[in-house]
């Protein structure tokens, strides 16, 4: 270390004798410093540390008479429809749970503290299939470090047409029984889920939410959700559904909750009034 310091001192002391050499030396030090910061950021080593990590859970239920939606297309109504295609925009379980609600951590700007285990997605690709003239799954979440593989086993062509807010739109055709599919990238987080349609079969639709953090989930068939490894602090969540839009708690779309270290915060039951059904 002393030797390096001595060499640096000699160079600095000669800045007037070798001005070009000295300027190049200083510029190189700045470049190296920037590269070090970039590497540390990529590894998550410069992120602020949380005092602990906890979870949140809750349940979203339909409050009122459950709507019975007619099938979108009946069997045989179109050449590719081998069986009736249900309307999946509202799926309510036997116990009243509302499926496919997007529950996600919300920040007006910036990124949240992320648990070290969740810095990068463990799954590189998320699958979206055209099956029996439907998108499967109907709703999905993808992180910006993941790709979507859209494929088809159907004997008819399908297209995928996206309507993002911030990413570039996609409008591509997948050939018949293309099991390899096409890979789609969405490098920018979206403020809300985007709509996906097939231009060749107008009843086909799905919802895709692109996020840049791991704290977003979909409610299951019973309306339940759990998000784990959250920073132990006050955080804000939002809940969105393709029919009901923002689902509010106590009249507010921004749901604030304190996450306890090593424990699970309970949001309880959140009701969606039947009268909101269009």
* pLDDT (average), residues 24-49: 51
Are residues 11 and 95 both part of a single domain?
Answer: no
Per-residue pLDDT at 163 exceeds 80:
yes
Comparing CA positions, the residue from 195, 233, 235 lying closest to residue 103 is 235
**Cα 173 from Cα 31, distance rounded (Å):** 45
Is 38 inside any structural domain?
Answer: yes
* pLDDT (average), residues 156-162: 95
- Residue 38 belongs to domain spanning: 2-42
Is 47 inside any structural domain?
Answer: no
**Cα 82 from Cα 74, distance rounded (Å):** 9
Q: What is the mean pLDDT of the chain?
A: 87
Query: 3-state class of 105 per DSSP?
Result: strand
Over residues 205-220, the pLDDT tens digits come to: 999 999 999 999 999 9
Pick the more confident residue, 38 or 246. 246
Is 48 inside any structural domain?
Answer: no
* pLDDT (average), residues 7-27: 52
pLDDT at residue 8, rounded to an integer: 44
pLDDT at residue 34, rounded to an integer: 44
**Cα 160 from Cα 205, distance rounded (Å):** 9
Comparing CA positions, the residue from 127, 153, 272 lying closest to residue 208 is 127
* pLDDT (average), residues 79-83: 80
pLDDT at residue 44, rounded to an integer: 44
Are residues 10 and 67 both part of a single domain?
Answer: no
Pick the more confident residue, 272 or 27. 272
Are residues 78 and 38 both part of a single domain?
Answer: no
**Cα 165 from Cα 76, distance rounded (Å):** 36
Is 168 inside any structural domain?
Answer: yes
**Cα 88 from Cα 83, distance rounded (Å):** 15
pLDDT at residue 21, rounded to an integer: 58
Are residues 120 and 185 both part of a single domain?
Answer: yes
Are residues 116 and 81 both part of a single domain?
Answer: yes
What global pTM score does this model have?
Answer: 0.81
* pLDDT (average), residues 177-195: 96
- Count of domains observed in the chain: 2
The answer for residues whose C-beta is within 8 angstroms of residue 238's C-beta and 6 or more apart is 103, 104, 106, 246, 253, 254, 255
pLDDT at residue 33, rounded to an integer: 53
Is 36 inside any structural domain?
Answer: yes
Over residues 96-121, the pLDDT tens digits come to: 999 999 999 999 988 899 999 999 99
Are residues 173 and 205 both part of a single domain?
Answer: yes
Per-residue pLDDT at 36 exceeds 50:
no
């Amino acid at each position: 270390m002393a030797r390096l310091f001595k060499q640096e001192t000699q160079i600095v002391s000669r800045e007037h004798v070798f001005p070009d050499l000295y300027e190049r030396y200083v510029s190189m030090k700045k470049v190296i410093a920037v590269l070090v910061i970039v590497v540390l950021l990529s590894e998550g080593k410069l992120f602020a540390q949380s005092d602990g990590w906890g979870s949140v859970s809750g349940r979203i239920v339909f409050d009122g008479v459950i709507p019975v939606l007619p099938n979108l297309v009946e069997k045989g109504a179109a050449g590719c429809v081998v069986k009736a295609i249900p309307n999946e925009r509202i799926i309510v379980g036997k116990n009243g749970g509302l499926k496919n609600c997007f529950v996600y951590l919300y920040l007006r700007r910036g990124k949240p503290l992320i648990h070290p285990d969740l810095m990068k997605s463990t799954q590189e690709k998320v699958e979206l299939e055209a099956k029996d003239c439907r998108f499967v799954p109907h709703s999905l979440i993808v992180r910006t470090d993941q790709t979507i593989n859209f494929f088809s086993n159907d004997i008819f062509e399908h297209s995928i047409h996206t309507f993002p807010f911030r990413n570039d739109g996609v409008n591509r055709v997948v050939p018949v029984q293309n099991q390899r599919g096409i890979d789609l990238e969405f490098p920018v987080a979206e403020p809300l889920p985007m709509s996906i349609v097939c231009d060749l079969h107008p009843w086909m639709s799905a919802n895709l939410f692109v996020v840049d953090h791991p704290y977003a989930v979909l409610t299951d068939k019973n309306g339940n959700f759990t998000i784990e490894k959250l920073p132990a602090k006050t955080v804000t969540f939002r809940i969105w559904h393709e029919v009901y839009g923002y689902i509010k708690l106590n009249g507010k779309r921004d749901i604030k909750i304190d996450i306890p270290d090593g424990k699970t915060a309970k949001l309880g039951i959140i009701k969606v009034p039947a009268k909101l059904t269009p």
